[in-house]
Amino acid sequence: MLQSLASNSCVRLIQGHKSTWYFVSLVLGYLLYLIFGAVVFSSVELPYEDLLRQDLRAMKKQFLQENECLSEERLERFLMKALDASNYGVSILNNASSNWNWDFTSALFFASTVLSTTGYGHTAPLSDGGKAFCIIYSVIGIPFTLLFLTAVVQRIMVFSTRRPVMYIHTRWGLSKPLVAIVHATLLAMISVSCFFLIPAAIFSALEENWNFLESFYFCFISLSTIGLGDYVPGEAANQRFRELYKVGITVYLILGLIVMLVVLETFCELQQLKQLRKMFYLKKEKPHDRLAILEHDHLSFTTVSNRALTHREDKTQPFVSVPALSSPNDDPMIQ
């Protein structure tokens, strides 16, 4: 008996807080996914890092042996200075000295990466004034960009998703959820082809040291706004039409980001995903439910008040109603 009562209480507790349990499982799943990613990245990349460290130490040792007049301390200071400059996008190599990081097209490309929160990190402001302006520019520009993207995506969604789905649904009488799923799949395939596969092939042809995988990797890292900065196009020393190339990449990033948001919004409007999201959300009390509760409370209060008033009136009235006699002859007993 006690076991059955305990099991019933547990079931009622779980069902009463179902959304909370779903949310806890979501948090645990996310933490496990983070740990899984850390384990995989560490196991894959750590051996390559160790090998690169060993190669650099061997090259440094060989260089010092071949140049005995140079001390290790002077070499360390020189390398540290060069690496600090490289972190700001300035290279001391002869073949990279002709590329300026802050001409107009490069600055335009940098501004687009800041506003889109991509932030490759290959170029950064050098002066204190540039850093201060970057903060102010970002504080104003990032919300402005979000407003701009939201307005553009909202208008595109009408013509790219809502009207086609409704037209097919009303024209051929197909199920609206089925039409929405097929449409979202086709839209995702077209977007991947136009903004990942084809640009990756173009980048692999224009960039000498990039293969197709590296080009596809750059497209994904850029349009997902991850922006690691390990691959940045247009930075080669012998890059032809570098200014025009930078402008084209800027346009590609803005258009690609808009398309990615349209695809994500299309999938978010699917009925199945809406139901999935509701599993993890807190249930909100609807306005009409509140109105119904208030009306029910008002009716209950009115009913109780009426009953109390009726009961009070019943107490003040006599139990038997005796008619008034105008004369003794009217009494039926006498008659």
- 217-247 pLDDT, tens per residue? 999 999 998 888 888 888 776 777 888 888 9
For the chain, what is the mean pLDDT?
80
Alpha-carbon distance of 286 to 292, in angstroms, equals 10
Assigned token pair, 233: 């196009």
Assigned token pair, 104: 């107009």
SS3 content of the chain, % helix, strand, coil (to 5): 75, 0, 25
Higher per-residue pLDDT: 133 or 60: 133
Please determine, for residue 164, whether its predicted confidence score (pLDDT) is greater than 80. Answer: yes
Q: Which of 54-58, 104-108, 137-141, 292-296 has the lowest mean pLDDT?
A: 292-296
Res 288: pLDDT = 54
Alpha-carbon distance of 81 to 117, in angstroms, equals 28
Alpha-carbon distance of 159 to 157, in angstroms, equals 6
Higher per-residue pLDDT: 113 or 126: 113
Res 90: pLDDT = 74
Residues 234 and 98: beta-carbon distance below 8 Å: no
User: What is the pTM for the complete model shown?
Assistant: 0.73
- pLDDT category at 4 given cuts 50, 70, 90 is low
What is the CA 32 to chain-centroid distance, rounded?
A: 19
DSSP annotation of 330 reads: G
- Number of residues written out for the chain: 335
Res 262: pLDDT = 95
When pLDDT is averaged across residues 61-66 and rounded to a whole number, the result is 86
Question: Which residues fall within 8 angstroms of residue 264, CB to CB, at 6 or more apart?
Answer: none
Listed residue (88, 96, 104, 123) closest to 246, CA to CA = 104
Question: Which residues fall within 8 angstroms of residue 210, CB to CB, at 6 or more apart?
Answer: 203, 204, 218, 231
Higher per-residue pLDDT: 128 or 324: 128
Residue with tokens 């509140």: 290
Assigned token pair, 2: 């006690």
Cβ burial 46-68 (10 Å sphere, 16+ → b, else e): eeeeeeeeeeeeeeeeeeeeeee
When pLDDT is averaged across residues 155-159 and rounded to a whole number, the result is 94
